[in-house]
């Protein structure tokens, strides 16, 4: 074997680093989506209040649905990368390192999942996600409906309510391990 040949273990380690880099980038992007959502919500509410136009609140549901869906997709990919590392890469690398078994590669990938408070953190995160991406736009719709609007805007708001409800169902579905 020549010195420049690459071993299977080296390939697995490069793949691990590559998927972890992607996971890290997605985590940063996902987390920033929450801040972007809060900023957009504050701006739209301020503009609607200043203009005294409840109809401006109709901008919130589509923005929150798009940002919420993007957040959800990135969160799912982050989880999928973790599952891939735990289920595929770690066992292959452990088998190469110790053919008889017993070695666990990338232990942190599984160790942090056994935390006794993980369930409560996931429940709180679900509540935050639902509030930020679904509760706020639904509240905006309620304010719009209470202020009264024209027929076309009422119809539009109904479609927006359906979109927000659809996002809420997906947020809950993914949080339950889908």
Closest CA to 176 of 79, 65, 35, 32: 79
Q: Provide the domain count of the chain.
A: 1
C-alpha dist (Å) from residue 17 to 12, 82, 108: 9, 12, 14
> What pLDDT score was predicted for residue 4?
63
Assess whether pLDDT exceeds 80 at residue 3: no
In a domain, 1, yes or no: no
- Rounded distance between C-alpha atoms, residue 178 and residue 171, angstroms: 10
Instruction: Domain of residue 86: give its range.
Output: 8-175
Percent of the chain with pLDDT over 70: 96
Give the side-chain half-sphere CA count within 13 A for 3: 0
* Residue 57 burial (C-beta neighbours within 10 Å; 0-12, 13-18, 19+): buried
What percent of the chain stands above pLDDT 90? 74
Q: Is residue 67 in some structural domain? A: yes
Among 139, 135, 171, smallest CA distance to 58 is for 139
Nearest-angstrom CA–CA distance, 125 and 67: 16
* pLDDT greater than 90 at residue 5: no
What mean pLDDT value characterizes the chain? 92
Average pLDDT over residues 74-101: 89
Residue 129 belongs to some domain of the structure = yes
Residue partners of 91: CB distance under 8 A and separation at least 6? 105
Asked, for residue 2, whether it belongs to a domain, the answer is no
Positive/negative CA dihedral, 73, 108, 96, 3: positive
């Amino acid at each position: 074997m020549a010195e420049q040949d690459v071993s299977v273990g080296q390939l697995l380690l490069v793949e691990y680093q590559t998927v972890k880099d992607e996971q890290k980038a997605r985590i940063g992007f996902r987390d920033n989506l929450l801040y972007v959502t809060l900023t957009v919500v504050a701006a739209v509410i301020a503009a609607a209040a200043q203009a005294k136009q409840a109809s401006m609140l109709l901008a919130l549901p589509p923005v929150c649905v798009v940002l919420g869906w993007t957040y959800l997709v990135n969160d799912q990919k982050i989880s999928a990368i973790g599952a891939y590392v735990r289920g595929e890469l770690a066992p292959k690398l452990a088998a190469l390192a110790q053919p008889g078994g017993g070695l666990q590669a990338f232990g942190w990938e599984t160790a942090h999942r056994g935390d006794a408070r993980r369930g409560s953190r996931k429940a709180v995160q679900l509540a935050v996600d639902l509030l930020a991406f679904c509760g706020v736009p639904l509240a905006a719709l309620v304010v719009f409906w209470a202020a009264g609007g024209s027929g076309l805007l009422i119809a539009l708001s109904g479609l927006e309510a359906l979109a927000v409800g659809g996002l809420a169902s997906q947020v809950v579905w993914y949080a339950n391990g889908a």
